[in-house]
Amino acid sequence: ADLQDLGVAAMFHDVGYAAREGATPDHPGYAPPFERHGSAGARLLLKQRGFHEAKIRRALCCLDHHLDHNDPDGRPSLFGRIVRIAEDFDNLVRPGGAAIAPALAIRHLQAGSGTRYDPVLLQIFVNALGSFPPGTRLELADGQWVVTAGVVRTAEQFARPGAIRIRNADGTAGDQTWIDLSEAPAIRKVLMGKEAVMGKEG
């Protein structure tokens, strides 16, 4: 039940943008100011009929998912702290965001452990994603390029997730087949920058 509540809270954490509070023509797409979307979202959720503890958790998540773990006014709610980590990671790796490699995004988050992010929750997040979070592009020892597409399954496979082949060993385009990296050639390096883009196109 708690995981279901967290999922709903995550889906609605930015619903305040729909309220358009404070939106003016000088904001792109008449979007409301960033600093108002949290409280606007909480007000929208509290207008729903009925009352339940989950409703409060969702509203709190809207209110405090951008607050730092060590906020001087108090620690954010559990759901807010979880969503903060997930949203910041997504903003770092997605094409419309910073578009950096997942492994670099993890390092960026770890720099804020204990200040911006709850250190225990961040470590759980890292443990779940493994050494090569989903979306990491790798070159294998035989020349294949793959993009990781799975999370940690066992402690032994922390550094050997599942992946999809995007380039064959001979340099031709990969067939997008699933590869279990625990049974594949060794990982030679993480592909970043131009190499990663070339892999995507190839």
pLDDT tens-place values along the chain, 202 residues long: 888 888 878 887 777 666 666 656 666 555 555 566 777 777 777 777 777 788 888 888 888 888 899 999 889 999 999 999 999 999 998 888 888 888 889 999 999 999 999 999 999 999 888 888 888 999 999 999 999 987 777 777 788 888 999 999 999 998 999 999 989 999 999 887 545 544 443 3
Q: How many residues does the chain have?
A: 202
Bridge partners of 137? 147
Helix axes 78-93, 119-129, angle to 10 degrees: 50
Phi, psi of 180 (to 5 degrees): -90, 110
Burial 141-160 (b: 16+ CB within 10 A, else e): eeebbbbbebebeeeebeeb
Both tokens assigned to 101: 């490699």
pLDDT number for residue 155: 78
**The predicted structure's pLDDT at residue 195:** 53
State the Cα–Cα distance between residues 108 and 94, nearest whole angstrom.
14
Give the closest residue to 160 by CA, choosing from 192, 131, 138: 131
- Asked if residue 16 lies in contact with residue 62, where contact means CB atoms within 8 angstroms, the answer is yes
Query: Which residues have CB under 8 Å from 153's CB, separation 6+?
Result: 161, 162
